[in-house]
Amino acid sequence: MDSFKDQTVIVTGGSKGIGREICLQFARKKANVVINYFSSEEKVIELLSYIENFGGKAIIVKGDVSVLSDTKKIVDSAIKAFGKVDILVNNSGITRDNLMMRMSEEEFDSVINTNLKGTWNMCKSVTRHMLKNRIGKIINITSVVGIIGNAGQANYVASKAGIIGLTKSLSKEFGARGITCNAVAPGFIQTKMTDSLSDEIKEYYLAQIPLNKFGTVEDVANTVLFLASDEAAYITGQVISVNGGMI
């Protein structure tokens, strides 16, 4: 895992949070990084500049992963810029939390379309290219709640549980062609959003974590890079939880 030199990785939702850290770590390991974004243009331009300043190679591609034609554009842009796609990290995700009784159809559909269908769209768009080359790594970002469920997040949980099923199915379809497909399930990860929570809420969540601390975006990115590396060549169809023992 010393270097991903000459390998190309697409990271969806790469402009901030976990996605941003994944992009940075791949760039530091000499990969060609294709950073997908949809709305955070200022942040993604800042990230691109930061990567280029330390000598990394990256491009940015705007696209809505819930739209199949957009995902095809993302993959085509990667191939045009760097000649191939070796690694796909499906990180894009949104939340529209609400209790079931109050959740609107739009809140349900938008989360499913971005999180689950978006993951399917990206896998669909890169499949022919990876199958032709008989090599590739697909890493899907799911969530601890996709395993255990969570009140007030029926849409988000359904999307993340669906990603787990999709990951396991694709691993069986693609394995004979040398393509691995795995998922990473983060638990409670420290971000700007969690920093704004009250001390009482933080203590509540910490009490459920045996390691007694929140995870970091680096913890998740480290796991993604491991699954993308040669060291993980015999791992496929798996869900690796990064949650401090929460489940």
Report, as residue numbers or ranges, the catalytic residues: 156
Spatial separation of the C-alpha atoms in residues 32 and 97, rounded to whole Å: 35
Could you give the angle at which helices 217-228 and 17-28 cross, rounded to 10 degrees?
Answer: 50
Any idea what the Cα angle at residue 67 is, between residues 86 and 47, rounded to 5°? 55
Q: Which helix (H) or strand (E) holds 139?
A: strand 136-141
Q: What does the CA dihedral 164, 72, 232, 58 come to, rounded to 10 degrees?
A: -130
CA distances from 36 to 63, 71, 75 (A): 7, 9, 10
DSSP classification of residue 117: I
Question: What backbone torsions phi and psi does residue 211 show, to the nearest 5 degrees?
Answer: -75, -5
Spatial separation of the C-alpha atoms in residues 86 and 133, rounded to whole Å: 9
Contact 139, 228 (CB under 8 A): yes
